[in-house]
Structure 1
C-alpha cells in the first residue's frame, strides 16, 4: 500500500522557514525585541532540549529499523511506542517547537512566539493528522490503542 502525505511544505522546511521568520522579525521590527538576563542560556537550553528530543526519536526509530521520513508513512515497518515515544507521539515535532522557542530567545523578539504557535498549528493540522490516519491504516488496532494511551504532544 503506497501512502504519501502531500505536503506543500515538509516539516524540516517548515522549521527552517520558522527560524528565518523569527530572525526577520527581530531585524525588521526591532521595537518588539527584548533582552532578558540569562536569555542566551535559556535559548541554548531550549535548543539543546529540542535537538535532544529529535535525536532520541531518531535513535528509537533507527533501532526499530523503521523510517523517520514523515512524507512516506507506508515505509514504517514497526510501530514504535517505546523510548521517547512512550511520552509523546510526536517527539520530533515537539523538538522542532522547542528549537523554534529557543530561536525566539536567541533573537530576542516577542513576535516570534506567534511563529511558534503558527508552526504548531500548521504541523498539527497538515502533518500530524495525515500521519495518524496513515499509521492507523498501517497498524490498525495497535496504533489506535497507542493513540488512547499516549498524548499527541506531551
Structure 2
C-alpha cells in the first residue's frame, strides 16, 4: 500500500475521482476478512502458515474449495480496494506486480512442497480448485 501511495503522489494517472470511497473500503475489509478467516483455519488445523514451514494437513474445505491461495487472494483484494480509493491508474500496477511475484516465487515453491508431501491428494485438489479464484 505504501508503493501505491508513492505512485499516486508521483505518477497520478487519474482514472476517476467518482469511485465511492465506501466501496473501496468494503473491498479492503473483504480482503482483510479473507486473510484473517484463512489464518484461523490454519490455526484450527494446526498446520504451517508460513511458506517455509512444513504443512501437516492438506486443507481443501471452506474457502479452500474456491481458491488454493485465499490468503494471497485476500492480500490482492486489499491492494485492489486501495487502488480504487486512490483513483489512479498507476496504483493498479502494485496488485499486478504482487500477483506476479506471488505466482513466481511463493506459490510455485509452496505447491512443489505440497505435491511432495501430499502426492496424489494434492494433485487431485489442484485439478479441482483454481490457483486464485
Category of TM-score, reference length = shorter chain: over 0.9
* Partners of 1:47 and 1:103 within 8 A in 2: yes
Q: Distance in 2 between matches of 1:64 and 1:102?
A: 30
TM-score for both structures, normalised by structure 2 = 0.93
Q: Distance in 2 between matches of 1:128 and 1:36?
A: 35
Counterpart in the other structure of 2:87? 108
| Structure 1 residue 65 corresponds to structure 2 residue 40 | no
C-alpha root-mean-square deviation of aligned residues, in Å?
A: 1.2
**Number of equivalenced pairs:** 132
| Structure 1 residue 128 corresponds to structure 2 residue 110 | no
* Partners of 2:19 and 2:87 within 8 A in 1: no
Q: Distance in 2 between matches of 1:143 and 1:150?
A: 10
Q: Distance in 2 between matches of 1:152 and 1:37?
A: 29
Structure 2 gap ranges (5+): none
Q: CA deviation at 1:133?
A: 0.3
Q: Distance in 1 between matches of 2:114 and 2:86?
A: 37
2:11 to 29, 32, 53: 29
Counterpart in the other structure of 1:41? 22
TM-score for both structures, normalised by structure 1 = 0.81
Counterpart in the other structure of 1:87? 66
Q: Distance in 1 between matches of 2:52 and 2:57?
A: 16
Q: Distance in 2 between matches of 1:47 and 1:105?
A: 10
Q: 1:131 to 1:110 in 2, by over 3 A?
A: same
* Partners of 1:26 and 1:107 within 8 A in 2: yes
